[in-house]
Each structure stands twice: as structure tokens, then as C-alpha cells.
Amino acid sequence: MADVLSQDAIDAMVAQAAPPPPAGGPEGADSLSSVVQLTGPDFAPSGVQTVSPAPAAPAAVPAKVNEALAELKECIGRMEADIGGVIAREKMMSGSSSDLAELKERTEQLAASFASLTGGIQTVSQHLEGTPGYGAKSTFVCAHCQTQGKVAVPATCTQCGTQTWLGWFPQQ
């Protein structure tokens, strides 16, 4: 257990460490003035380190440093925005693997439908090419007047027998 000192022992220790009163000062200075002297800037008991005063306030930051800091802040802001966009795209892509499979399946279905339609168009074209009037508008030239593309064929109603002409006639 630590030793307990009496007030008289503490006062004696303080009196021994106190510097002598200043010359011309009053004789028998009270203990309060001794304490004030002990706590002054010149008091440094042995074993105690003195602390240096705080440094003066730093000099003003040069304008170039402020500009560089502003540019860095802007750059960091752009980078954060870019990273946010990348994260958003990654989230969009990571959750869509099933969507991609569905899209691939639908694309394959559409490709098959397109191939079927193309085949049907080719079949109809082949059948039309076998008819006598196929391409008549673009290939017919009259042997008498040399007119091109003005051609008509007779058409007969099979109900009543009325006959008419179908084709490309000159404008009147």
C-alpha cells in the first residue's frame, strides 16, 4: 500500500523545492505565493520533461495546392460515378442469365419462323414463274408499236360468262 504523507511533510517538500524569494521581495512570503512560483514557467523539478510550446499556425496553403486538391476531388467523384455504373451493369448482368437463355430460345424460334417464311415465299415465286403471265409487265414488248409493259389478258366470269380485260393499260 502507498505511504500517506501528512500535510506538514508535503509543505516541507514544497519549501525545499521552492526557489528563494526574489530580491527586494517581502520577507516571509506566504505559502500561496510559493505555490504560484512553483507553477510558473521556470519551475522544472528533476525527472519531469518540459513540453515545447505549440508550433505557430501553419502558413496559408498555396493556391496551386488548393487547385490540385479540387481536381483530385473532381476526379474521385468521376471515379465513384464510374464505379457505380459498373456495379449497376454488373448487377443487371448477373441477374439476367435466365433472361439471356430465354432470349436465346426466342431468337432461335424467330430464326426458324423466318426460315419457314422465306421457304414459303420461294415456293410461291417458283409457282408464279411457271405461269404464262409471269413477268409480262416488265418483259412484254408489242410487236406492232414497240410499247413496253402495256399488256392485258381476257378474264371471263365463270358464273355468267361475261368477259373483261385485266392488265396494264395506257393512261388516257
- pLDDT, position 95: 60
SS3 141: strand
Tens digit of each residue's pLDDT (9 = 90 or more) over 21-39 = 666 555 554 544 444 445 5
**Annotated domain spans of the chain:** 63-113
Indicate the residue type of 73.
Answer: K
* CA dist list (Å): 32 to 4, 6, 8, 14, 39: 23, 18, 15, 11, 11
Look up the pTM and report it.
0.31
From its phi and psi, is residue 73 left (phi > 0), alpha (psi between -120 and 50) or beta?
A: alpha
Q: What is the mean pLDDT of the chain?
A: 73
